[in-house]
Amino acid sequence: MITKHTSVTALAIIGLMFAGTACKRGHDNTGVEYAPQMYDAVGYEPYRQIRPNTINPQGLNMRLPARGTVARPNYHTTFGEGANAKTDLMIYHIPADSIEIAERVLTNPIPETEQSLAEGKTLYTRYCSHCHGETGKGDGLVGKEYKGVPNYSSDALKTLNDGHIFHVITNGKGRMWPHGSQITPEDRWKIVQYVHKLQQG
Amino acid sequence: MLIHSINIVHKMSRLYKLGGALILSLMLLVSNSQLRAQDAAPAGGADAEKGKTLFTNNCAQCHAVTDEKVVGPGLKGVESRTPGKDWLHKWIRNSSALIASGDQYANQVFNANGKVQMSSFPSLTDADIDGILAYIDQANKPAVTNGGGGGGTTDPAPAASASGPSELFTFVLVALLIVMLLVLGVLLAIVTILSKAVAPATAGGVEESSNFGQRLKTGLSNAFNNPTLRSIVIWLFLLVVAKETIDGAYSIGIQQGYAPKQPIAYSHKLHAGQYKIDCNYCHTGAQKGKNATIPAANICMNCHGVIKKESPEIQKIYTAIEENRPIEWVRVHNLPDLAYFNHAQHVNVGNVACQTCHGEIEKMEVVEARSSLTMGWCIDCHRRTDVNTKDNAYYDKLVALHRKESKEPLKVANIGGLECSKCHY
């Protein structure tokens, strides 16, 4: 009687030891959450949704903002200092296929300073350089794969003006797709300044 | 098991041999192509030299000198297939005007290449264009005689090396299993020896004849009846249980190592590591807002409208766009609502690199939560990190006040980095 029990206990002990050391949480498991509603909130949250929404289309919590919505927190409308200060709302209604209008009408509202150029360079590195290359030669790592990325300092491109470059960033041109959704108008104008530097070769 | 592991070792050595042969053949190929390039150089005239510079600056982005199509058609034999040099001069300087004028061949070329408008190059003179044409001719001559098996030879090497790590992994696993089994065997042997030693000699000839199962039973029961051994086992058991309980309690709410399967097998290793695309290109909110934001499908399309359109994983993006439904990525870093975190504050103002909290994202095939995101982890960093007060008038008075009390530089902890209500409200 006793012998039977001991072998069972021994087996149980060995089994538990294995279970304790070998069994770790899988990569697909978040583990135990204390107060789970703090992780999957009852209220609506961006970027985290467990239950389908019963009100919105397609069961989504997030809805698209109304067309033409402008995010206000980072939106500047006055540029320059003192008497040179200039107000520009940077709201343009130029159709995507009318690059000639952009060339004629648009001018950069941001006065060129050392700081704005430095910011332009940072933004260029962030949004453009993987295709257009560090120096605008079209030799970025992605550009080589993408193919057809032009050289800013080539004869056909080195004279392009503010409006043209701004319009291409916003709406794309040729093989390039529009980047207007990623970059605010103000940042686009700073990039334009830096691209002018790169056009000089 | 042992046979299996030997088999794997054998396979691996074969793999190394294969890899060696591949590398050797690659080296041969490279040296071969270098020789070819040297052959080509001395043949050109002054005209073609200038044409080469013009070509690389103006044309090479869209055209190859061979018959390979890049964006526009390959330019090998372009002079003989078009209506002549005069036509080419007009076309290159202003192709859209030529198309608009109703020129038959211009329209044919335009339609045959997907109606993609070629840039105009009004500044190129007739002589410049002739130079470019001369360069194209010259570049094709040696390439035609020597070429043939030029492209597409590098493919097998990465595939072979890619299967390496997983084989190694299984090998290590098998080896570990063998070691564990050996340890188990040794332990069992020790137990039997011990139980034999503690068992009194009374179990004599009768036990000798009984089968192994019975002997094990009596051995174990003898061991169980031994108080020392019994207490050792019980204590060990309690210790293991206690450790597991404490570990389990500490891991509540910690999602370190969480790496869920995503709806699309997107690789940060490829995009951020190999192609060095800036994190901010896709996560546009990191510099400006609370969330770093997950890119919408239109940002994927900025590149994948052209690159790797046929891949089944990228086709999933196309389907999502066609059906107008979002891609349901699984959130990896999910801070509970009891704590507030803002990306812009850390990334833009504090200048903290993404990798400080997210680990080496540029090396991850599947994103994994690398940091514990516990309060202790946050506070630790706030205690350690100096505030960048240089050239920032906002901090001048704070720094002056801080100097009176301490000689240490101003840390995040000194400007409210430890205040409860900064993050919990």
What confidence tens digit (pLDDT) does each residue in A137-178 have? 988 999 988 888 888 988 888 889 999 999 999 999 888 999
Sequence-ordered strand ranges (E) for B15-96: none
Do B134 and B76 lie in one domain? The reply is yes
pLDDT more than 90, % of chain A: 41
Residues of B in contact with A34 (CB under 8 A): 252-253
Residue A38 within a domain:
no
pLDDT of residue B228: 86
CA distance B148 to A107: 52
Q: Which residue type is seen at A55?
A: I
The rounded distance, in Å, linking the Cα atoms of A10 and A4 is: 10
User: Are A76 and A86 in contact, with CB atoms under 8 Å apart?
Assistant: no
Q: Are residues B127 and B171 in the same domain?
A: no
Q: How far is CA B157 from CA A176, B23, B161, B413, in A?
A: 32, 8, 6, 52
Report which of residues B54 and B159 the model is more confident about.
B54
Mean pLDDT of chain A: 86
In a domain, B397, yes or no: yes
- Same-domain pairing of B188 and B244: yes
Confidence of residue B155 (pLDDT cuts 50, 70, 90): very low
Question: Do B141 and B53 share a structural domain?
Answer: yes
Q: Is there a domain that residue B99 lies in?
A: yes
Residue A165 lies in a domain: yes
Mean pLDDT along residues B282-296:
92
- Tell if the CB–CB gap between A27 and B260 is shorter than 8 Å: yes
In this predicted structure, the answer to whether residue B386 has a pLDDT above a threshold of 90 is yes
Choose among A20, A48, A155: nearest Cβ to B244: A20
Closest of B149, B152, B132 to residue B52, by C-alpha: B132
- What is the number of domains present in chain B? 3
Q: Torsion angle, CA of A77/A79/A81/A84, rounded to 10 degrees?
A: -110
Query: Domain range spanning residue B96?
Result: 38-146
Residue B411, strand partner residues = B386
Give percent of chain B with pLDDT exceeding 90.
38
Report chain A residues whose CB lies below 8 A from the CB of B276. Answer: 130, 141
Is residue B53 predicted with pLDDT exceeding 90? no
The pLDDT of residue B32 is 45
Confidence of residue B363 (pLDDT cuts 50, 70, 90): very high
Query: Based on the domain organization, do B139 and B239 belong to the same domain?
Result: no
pLDDT grade for B8, boundaries at 50, 70 and 90: very low
Residue B205 lies in a domain: yes
Residues 132-191 of A with CB under 8 A from B: 138, 141-142, 145-151, 153-157, 174-175, 177-179, 181-183
- Tell whether B55 and B132 lie within a shared domain: yes
What lies within 8 Å, CB to CB, of B37 at 6+ separation is none
The answer to the question of residue B170 being in a domain is yes
Picking from B197, B216, B250, the residue at the C-terminal end of a domain is B250
Provide the H-helix boundaries in B202-311: 205-209, 212-225, 227-250, 268, 279-282, 297-304
Tens digit of pLDDT for each residue in A13-36?
Answer: 676 666 655 556 778 888 888 888
Q: How far is residue B78's CA from residue B84's CA, in Å, rounded to a whole number? A: 9
The structure's pTM equals 0.72
Of the candidates B61, B257, B293, which has its C-beta nearest A27's C-beta?
A: B257
ipTM for the whole predicted complex goes beyond 0.90: no
Is A57 an interface residue toward B (CB < 8 Å)? no
What is the residue range of A182's domain? 116-201
CATH no. for residue A196?
1.10.760.10
In a domain, B382, yes or no: yes
- pLDDT tier at B157, thresholds 50, 70, 90: very low
Domain end call among B119, B146, B173 = B146
The reply to whether B102 and B75 lie within a common domain is yes
First to last CA, chain B: 58
Contact predicate B99/B120, CB 8 Å: no
A151 chain-B contacts, CB cut-off 8 A = 57-58, 61
CA–CA min distance A107, chain B (Å):
23
The per-residue pLDDT for B331 is 92
pLDDT average, residue stretch A40-69: 85
Is residue B54 located within the same domain as residue B91?
A: yes
Instruction: Tell me, yes or no, if A65 comes closer than 8 A to chain B by beta carbon.
Output: no
For B301-318, how does the pLDDT look when each residue is reduced to its tens digit (9 = 90+)?
999 998 998 999 999 999
Last residue of a domain, one of B115, B146, B177: B146
Report percent pLDDT > 70 for chain A. Answer: 88
Q: How many CB atoms lie within 10 A of CB B385?
A: 18
Whether pLDDT at A192 is above 50: yes
The SS3 call for residue B411 is strand
**Do B200 and B110 belong to one domain?**
no
In total, how many domains does chain A have? 1
CB distance B282 to B334 below 8 Å: no
Domain holding B45: CATH number?
A: 1.10.760.10
